[in-house]
Amino acid sequence: MRSFTLAAMALLGLAIPTFAGSMAELETIKLEQRTSQKAHGAFASGKYKRRDKAKCRKGTANGYACENVDMLDFMSHEEMRSDTREGNDVWGWTAPNGREFAAVGQTDGTAFVEVRRDGSLQYMGRLPTQTVPSLWRDMKVIGSHVYIGSEARGHGLQIFDMKKLLTAQPRLPKNYSVENDLTGWFSFGGRDNSHNIVAHEETNMIYAVGTDRTLSCRAGLYMVDVSDPANPTSPGCVSEDGYVHDAQCVIYKGKPLLANNHMTCQRNLTNLAGPDSSFNGHEICFNYNEDTLTIVDVTDKSAPLQISRTPYVGATYTHQGWLTSMTDMRYLLLDDELDELERNGTAANQRTTTYIFDISKLSAPKHTGTYQSPAVSIDHNQYVVDGLSYQSNYQSGLRVVDVKSLSKDPTGKGLKQVGFFDVHPEDDAIGGEAVFAGAWSVYPYFKSGHLVLNSIERGLFVLKYTGKK
């Protein structure tokens, strides 16, 4: 076992290598599991029914295990007119008049639903895949436009104006056309595929990642300027560290950290490890590169600068992550998508493992600790809002983790689960399992507090966290 090898090497004082998989390995595992799930009826027509809203009482809501999370509505992929009835990513858009909408990824296209004030769902229409179905579809929003990519060959980047939904008739949901209803379309070249779409609203930049490895970009950050959504252009690419699986791009706004006690501050001023002020105002991308956290300065699109490339003990497939604060930008949480399945390092017990990095010095990030969920499950995507990490962890569903203690203890010992909603009850009786099923992603940015979570088999859940803010 990898975990045994790592432990033995550590005891012997030997350098610890990184045992990272590749996207090809991950694809193979997921496709094999999906084939088995289909054979066992996980995506059968009529299997998942609409359910009434339900408060989380005594650890359950509508048969789903929960804590401090209510269920407001649910709509199946079949009800959202998907022929394949298989889900993937999800993102949200809030209209200027405050109406909330979700773009719901499915293997055969993108469904559009409105999340009404009471949390109920209204199906509004759908945009089909540009070419053929694919397990992977990803979307992000800048302004009023949603940008949609897929691993499907020839798909490219679909650009759709969500304002069309404001005049849509709910009684007559529309099947939008890839020929007539797109604002624009962009080609990445080669297979024209992408694995994820990264959006940076402040700079009107889309970064497509996981594109064709055989091209000059090597599946790194493929930059797309969408200042004019109808005429996107590419100012450049980041190819130095090869394949990027996901990323977060920000304008770096680190602030020096001061000790609470003035005298302590004066004595230890030279020892303070504040955020890297030399990069203030720069556009920085935190890339999750299969086996490393790779940080890149993309301020100059024609000459991006790789600042650091950091491996870590337990790396098996570096997948996704998020900054814990958009003000001090000191800590980052990282997901590894294969460590639980491979029982590698800390994740040998298969409980969902989150890696904590101190990024106060961008050129030398430090892995300071880990957090483990109480549940056995694989992690996928997480986003942090006001000190709470909203994690979509496959078969254990939504997990809400309070991460505010990191400012005092970067080891992660103070991190605490404060709520959850398990959308995959099939494995509850055996205490959970590390399988690629259940929750794919969550969108936690609606001002209403509505959380939309997309389940691979079932469909879209609208949830509401009711615990401490």
Per-residue pLDDT tens over the stretch 340-372: 999 999 999 999 999 999 999 999 999 999 999
Residue 267 contacts by C-beta under 8 Å, 6 or more apart in sequence?
Answer: none
More confident residue, 13 or 373: 373
> 262, exposed or middle or buried, with CB in 10 Å at 0-12, 13-18, 19+?
exposed
Cα four-point dihedral sign 203, 326, 451, 411: positive
Q: Residue 23 region, left (φ>0) first, then alpha (ψ -120 to 50), else beta?
A: alpha
More confident residue, 172 or 4: 172
Q: Which fold has domain 84-244?
A: Methylamine Dehydrogenase; Chain H (2.130.10)
Would you say residue 139 has pLDDT above 90? yes
> 202, exposed or middle or buried, with CB in 10 Å at 0-12, 13-18, 19+?
exposed
Instruction: Give the architecture-level CATH label for domain 281-469.
Output: 7 Propeller (2.130)
Separation between Cα atoms, residue 411 and residue 357, nearest integer Å: 9
Separation between Cα atoms, residue 437 and residue 435, nearest integer Å: 6
pLDDT of residue 14: 32
> Residue 360 in 3-state DSSP?
coil
Interior/surface letters 371-404, b for 16+ CB within 10 angstroms, e for the rest: bbbebbbbbbbbbbbebbbbbbbbbbbbbbbbbe
pLDDT of residue 123: 98
Q: Residue 341 region, left (φ>0) first, then alpha (ψ -120 to 50), else beta?
A: alpha
Q: Tell me if 191 sits within 8 A of 154, measured CB to CB.
A: yes
Strands 121-128 and 145-150: unpaired
Residues of the chain with CATH 2.130.10.10: 84-244, 281-469
Would you say residue 267 has pLDDT above 80? no
Q: What tokens were used for 175?
A: 């099947």
Mean pLDDT of 443-448: 98
pLDDT of residue 206: 98
pLDDT of residue 254: 65
pLDDT of residue 468: 86
Strands 121-128 and 174-175: parallel
If pLDDT is split at 50, 70 and 90, which confidence band does 253 have? confident
Separation between Cα atoms, residue 407 and residue 254, nearest integer Å: 14
In percent, the amount of the chain with pLDDT more than 90 equals 88
pLDDT of residue 469: 76
Would you say residue 2 has pLDDT above 50? no
Would you say residue 126 has pLDDT above 60? yes
pLDDT of residue 408: 96
Q: Tell me if 194 sits within 8 A of 138, measured CB to CB.
A: yes
Separation between Cα atoms, residue 237 and residue 217, nearest integer Å: 6
Separation between Cα atoms, residue 195 and residue 177, nearest integer Å: 23
> 276, exposed or middle or buried, with CB in 10 Å at 0-12, 13-18, 19+?
buried
Which of 279, 316, 277 shows the shortest CA–CA distance to 295?
A: 279
Question: How many angstroms from the chain centroid is the CA of residue 341?
Answer: 19
pLDDT of residue 255: 58
pTM: 0.93
> Residue 277 in 3-state DSSP?
helix
Per-residue model confidence as pLDDT tens digits over 190-214: 999 999 999 999 999 999 999 999 9
Tell me how many degrees the CA angle 210-214-220 measures, rounded to the nearest 5: 35
Would you say residue 268 has pLDDT above 60? no
Show the DSSP H helices in 215-261 as ranges. Answer: none
Cα four-point dihedral sign 193, 284, 407, 385: negative
Q: Tell me if 227 sits within 8 A of 306, measured CB to CB.
A: no
Per-residue model confidence as pLDDT tens digits over 163-185: 999 999 999 999 999 999 999 99
> Residue 352 in 3-state DSSP?
strand
Separation between Cα atoms, residue 272 and residue 244, nearest integer Å: 32
CB atoms within 10 A of CB 229: 21
pLDDT of residue 260: 39
pLDDT of residue 5: 33
